[in-house]
Each structure stands twice: as C-alpha cells, then as structure tokens.
C-alpha cells in the first residue's frame, strides 16, 4: 500500500513538473543553445561544455538557492529535479549575470524557451535567492515562489517552508567554527588548506566543500567531488 502511494505521489510530482515546464516555455524568449550539460553537481550547480567538448564551465544557477545535499531529503530531491530537467547532453543557453568568488559562471539556464531556474522555484525544488535577485525578473520569481508555497510543493511541504539554504549554511559554519581547534592542521582530514576525500567522511560533505571552492576535490572535472564516497 505504501509503495503504491509513493508511486502515485511521484506520478503527480512528474505531472506537475511537466505542466510547469510547458507553462514557462511559453513565457521566456529563447537563447541560443551554445552549451551541453556535462554533469549536475547539486540542486543549483551544473557543468556545461561547448559543443566540441573542449571547454568546461561550472554554472551556479542565478537568483535561486536549492537546499544543501545534507538537508535530507530536500537536497537530493532538488538535485534529482535538476537532473530530470537537464539530462546529460541537453543543449542549453546561458543568460550570464556574473562570476562568483569561486570562479563559477552565475547564470539563468534556458532549455529552448524554458527558464530552468524559474522551473525549480515553481515546483518547490529551490528558494528564490532574494539577496542576489538583481538581474533577474523579480516579479516572476516572486509569483512562482508564492504559487509553490500555496500549493505546498517540495520545500513548502511544511508550514513556512524548510530552513532556508543560506541560513543552514550559516549555521553549519558557526558550529564548525566554534568546534575548530586553534591549529587547523590538527583537524582530521585537513592538510594545510586542503581536504582529502577518504578523510572527509561523506559524499554530501564533499559536495559542500566543492561548492565552497575546493575544486581540487573534483579530480575528473565532472562537477562532482569524491565519487569514491558514494
């Protein structure tokens, strides 16, 4: 009985996502598809390549903030939603907004005329990142988030929504800082300013470190850190 309920819930979720994508495809002007999706890191980060595959770029989806991978189960749900919207090899266009401090391209991602950033907000897979909304359509993002909240979709399944990803990260940094020894070199898994995959402890933590700029953890450049920990 429980399995049938889960299958029904997933079917409803897939239908809602398809409906949202169709609706958004009518609202966004097309952008030339100059890239192909190479990998999906988490709910708001992808890697793309040029058509010939020679240049790879990490893209942080602009104006949204998906739950962290360790925010179970919402972080994984967000990643799966992005993978469903952008299977490997999907041709996409970018509306670039900036380059962040980690060297990632911050952009809205368009598949044809569908704005993927807005689709993630509309289906409750991500929050609007109000602190960094500049350059995006504030009115549309606000409307889509409000509609997802009223429908209790995804991150809005609990009253008021789950803890915002930015607050979650701030809390983790605060706890980490208060527990850190004065000599950072004595921390397990820490060697100078570099972490080692086998000593990090979990795949989810590795993805967070990659997001924070520890790009050396992604040895093969596929947008995913420490695959050996999965």
Q: How many residues does the chain have?
A: 230
Cβ-proximal residues to 136 (8 Å cutoff; 6+ apart), any chain:
62, 63, 97, 108, 117
- What is the distance, to the nearest Å, from the Cα of residue 25 to the centroid of all Cα atoms in its chain? 20
Would you say 24 and 114 are in contact if contact means Cβ atoms under 8 Å apart? Answer: yes
Residue 164 falls in the annotated catalytic set: no
Residue 68 falls in the annotated catalytic set: yes
CA distances from 141 to 19, 41, 145, 154 (A): 17, 23, 6, 16
Cβ-proximal residues to 179 (8 Å cutoff; 6+ apart), any chain:
none
Rounded distance between C-alpha atoms, residue 74 and residue 64, angstroms:
15
136: tokens are 């995006």
* Catalytic residue from among 17, 47, 68, 224: 68
* Catalytic residue from among 17, 47, 60, 79: 60
* Catalytic residue from among 104, 108, 145, 224: 104
The residue among 156, 153, 127, 147 whose CA lies nearest residue 61 is 127
The beta strands (E) that lie in 76-225 are given as 91-99, 105-111, 114-115, 127-128, 190-191, 194-195
Residue 47 falls in the annotated catalytic set: no
* Residues designated catalytic: 60, 68, 104
């Amino acid at each position: 009985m429980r399995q049938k309920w889960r299958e029904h819930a997933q079917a409803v979720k897939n239908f809602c996502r398809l409906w949202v994508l169709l609706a958004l495809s009518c609202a966004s002007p097309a952008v030339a598809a100059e890239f192909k999706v190479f990998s999906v890191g988490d709910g708001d980060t992808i890697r793309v390549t040029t058509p010939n595959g020679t240049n790879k770029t990490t893209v942080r989806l602009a104006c949204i903030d998906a739950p962290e991978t360790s925010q179970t189960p919402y972080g994984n749900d967000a990643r799966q939603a992005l993978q469903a919207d952008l299977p490997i090899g999907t041709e996409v266009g970018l509306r670039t907004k900036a380059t962040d401090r980690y060297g990632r391209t911050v952009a809205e991602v368009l598949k044809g005329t569908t704005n993927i950033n807005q689709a993630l907000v509309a289906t409750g897979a991500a929050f609007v990142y109000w602190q960094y909304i500049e350059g995006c359509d504030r009115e549309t993002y606000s409307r889509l988030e409000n509609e997802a909240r009223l429908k209790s979709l995804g991150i809005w399944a609990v009253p008021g929504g789950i803890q915002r990803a930015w607050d979650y990260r701030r809390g983790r940094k605060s706890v980490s800082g208060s527990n850190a020894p004065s000599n950072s070199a004595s921390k397990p898994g820490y060697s100078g300013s570099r972490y080692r995959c086998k000593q990090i402890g979990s795949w989810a933590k590795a993805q967070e470190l990659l997001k924070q700029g520890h790009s050396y953890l992604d040895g093969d450049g596929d947008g995913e850190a420490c695959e050996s920990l999965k």
